[in-house]
Amino acid sequence: MRITIIGAGNIGGAIARGLSKGNIFKASDITCTAQTETTLEKLRSFNPDFKLSLDNTSAVKNADIIVIAVKPWYVEEIIDQIKGVLDYNKQIIVSVAAGITFDQLNSFLTKNTGFDECLTTPTIFRIMPNTAIEVLSSMTFVAARNATKEQTHLIIQIFNELGNAMLVEERLMAAGTALASSGIAFALRYIRAAIEGGVELGFYPKQAQEIVVHTVKGAVDLLLENHSNPEMEIDKVTTPGGITIKGLNEMELSGFTSSVIRGLKASK
């Protein structure tokens, strides 16, 4: 199986590097395109077995899966370049472009295959990873249109190699972006605030960062390992009259939970 990634910049390059470490694709199965040789050279230095090209049209001809990982405003232009050589009966199209809907993608992709033939409907997936894809720890949302169960399973399997992939309805993609893509910045902002608090409590900045990062990691590991919800784990450390509940209540008085919810809703 072969995959072509059009636009091997930050996200596209991270996808390529991550997949080359997995079990589904070898680096030699992965073709990447970019606008400049400089971008391609970064991938070449990571793994010389990648197939690299500046020509989008030739790069997609023999691919089973085509990932369009360019900025949203370039998607229509890129599809116009390649759709003349696409085979919608054999190839799967995956878009990483935020905000470009299935209806838009289908409109860009649909072509008449002949005067007496019906329009061929492409199989399209929309995916929304976050920047942790760089370290194989992305929360990636996947939505499908005109896909079989087998094709959907394959795409989920591919992006599970880059972290955790979840199949959702297209209507939830914007919410997923707020919760996971923007959400990673919100989590990092909490970490930054806690580090600053740690410095005020007397730790050096590097010490405070190490403490906070491992504390957050521990909290995540508890939820994943125990399959519990946050409140259950909070109850374990909030003894009556204790310091933890006093700290939590003070945060809530400052609007902690409502601020997080408002931030998420504003990002949607």
Encoded amino acid at 227, one letter? H
Nearest to 94 by CA among 17, 38, 39, 16: 16
| pTM, rounded to two decimals | 0.90
* pLDDT for 134: 87
Structural domain spans, the chain: 3-168, 177-267
Burial 198-229 (b: 16+ CB within 10 A, else e): beeeebeeeebbeebeeeeeeeeeeeeeeeee
* pLDDT for 112: 56
The class level of CATH for 177-267 reads: mainly alpha
Name the fold adopted by 3-168.
Answer: Rossmann fold (3.40.50)
Give the DSSP per-residue string, 22-35: SSS--GGGEEEE-S
* pLDDT for 116: 43
Largest CA distance in the chain: 78
Per-residue pLDDT of the chain (268 residues; tens, 9 = 90+): 999 999 998 899 999 999 999 999 999 999 999 999 999 999 999 999 999 999 999 999 999 999 999 999 999 999 999 999 999 999 999 999 999 999 999 999 986 545 444 456 899 999 999 989 989 999 999 999 999 999 999 999 999 999 999 999 999 999 999 999 999 999 999 999 999 999 999 999 999 999 999 999 999 999 999 999 999 999 999 999 999 999 999 999 999 999 999 999 998 8
* pLDDT for 121: 84
